[in-house]
Amino acid sequence: MQSPLKISLLGIMLILGGCAKNPVTGKSELHFVNTQKEIQMGEKNYAYGQQMAGGLYTQDPALTAYIQEVGQKLAKASDRPSLPFEFVVLNDSIPNAWAMPGGKLAINRGLLLELENEAELAAVLGHEITHATARHGAKAMERQVLLSAGLLAANVALSSQNSDNTLGNNAILASAAVASQLVNTKYSRNAELEADNYGMEYMVKAGYEPMAAVSLQEKFVKLSEKKSGGWLEGLFASHPPSQHRANANLIHAQKMPGNLTLGEKRYQQKIATLKKQAPAYENYDKGIEALKKKQYVEAQALAELAIKALPTEALFHGLKGDALAKQNQREEALACYDQAIALEKQYFYFYHQRGLLRQKMGQKAQAKEDLKLSQQLLPTEEAQATLASL
């Protein structure tokens, strides 16, 4: 049956839409998401996108400040410096970065560890900034609405292809589905080339050596051949690397000014703390894998190792709580979730897990309170169903 909704959406788009120039390329294209809508789309979904990838990385605020400084420098050099750009570091080991419409960007700590210098960081951020300035995400949404009225798609399951390793098999609700689509937008070959190209322009304007965009792409091509380390579910899923991109970047870089800043020493200093913490996060990631394989004792041991190395990381306490809950050690698990929440109040997962545990323990009122908080941060099917049963 042809949905009347689809027809009316199409009608609205045709009324509202019009031809406009792309702010980066200057090419004429159909716009029915205007600048105000672009900004709204990003602002509405940014927090959900962060929740889907471990929440914010808070163990080194100086690192986040540094990423923001480099990001804002590039944003000012971009074609749309007036967009309300924001940059965050997410608490996820999967090498990934994304941009939502309106200039809302994120980079995972896992990707920061793979970069050699500040110019490579600028290459990643410049590329993502272009996805926002050239409306690539907005265009993808427009295409999707045209094709399927897909914004109203039902629940989106967050499976292994998703850039999240803590959410497990939870499914998010339709109200957060747009955020998931924006985070996981797979860009076209042309959009990727365009993002590299203008990203390099922004790099040079901000004083960074454009050859870093070449070395970075070469590195990504090599890594993509190995098909390991979470790359395929992270950055490479939405921004597929290719030798063609590396070659195009080289040709472009050769026409640009050279001998600009690489910033290797500065970058290495800035990520020194993260590097030191990396083994603890590796144990945590292994613990998550053990939990998935139902090896709960192993998962608990790995969480404890991680906690010993970095006791202030809330994720580690959350994992220990999960491992204990699975072993039916409910009081101990509860204490771990309490600890996780004491350390990090803005991440849905701890409330989600504590709420489910409290429901099992018969603490109805407290379970309700937790699950409501969890739903505010990121709505999931399981929390909704459990709330309905309380």
Residues of this chain that bind Zn ion (CB under 5 A): 187, 192, 195, 239
Residue 27: CB atoms within 10 Å: 8
CB of 118 to Zn ion, least distance (A): 20
Reduce the DSSP state of residue 208 to 3 states and report it: strand
Residue where the block lists tokens 């702010």: 23
Which residues neighbour 266 within 8 Å (Cβ) at sequence distance 6 or greater? 118
Q: What are the DSSP calls for 152-167, one per residue?
A: G---EE--TTSS-SSS
CB of 216 to Zn ion, least distance (A): 12
CB of 251 to Zn ion, least distance (A): 19
Tokens of 1: 């049956």
**Closer CB to Zn ion, 239 or 352, in the complex:** 239
In angstroms, the CA 323 to CA 314 distance is: 15
CB of 127 to Zn ion, least distance (A): 6
Name the DSSP letter for residue 210.
T
CB of 87 to Zn ion, least distance (A): 16
Residues paired with 21 in a beta bridge = 28
The distance from CA 313 to its chain's CA centroid, rounded to whole angstroms, is 19
CB of 273 to Zn ion, least distance (A): 28
CB of 187 to Zn ion, least distance (A): 5
- Half-sphere exposure of residue 290: CA atoms within 13 angstroms, side-chain side: 21
In angstroms, the CA 208 to CA 11 distance is: 46
Reduce the DSSP state of residue 278 to 3 states and report it: helix
The alpha-helical segments, DSSP class H, found in the chain are: 4-16, 35-51, 61-76, 109-112, 118-133, 136-148, 177-183, 189-205, 211-226, 235-238, 243-254, 264-270, 272-292, 296-309, 314-326, 330-343, 348-360, 364-377, 381-389
**Closer CB to Zn ion, 132 or 274, in the complex:** 132
Taking CB atoms, the residue at the shortest distance from Zn ion is 239
**Closer CB to Zn ion, 88 or 367, in the complex:** 88
**Closer CB to Zn ion, 74 or 302, in the complex:** 74
Contact 38, 144 (CB under 8 A): no
**Closer CB to Zn ion, 169 or 188, in the complex:** 188
**Closer CB to Zn ion, 135 or 239, in the complex:** 239
CB of 99 to Zn ion, least distance (A): 8
**Closer CB to Zn ion, 139 or 239, in the complex:** 239
**Closer CB to Zn ion, 63 or 105, in the complex:** 105
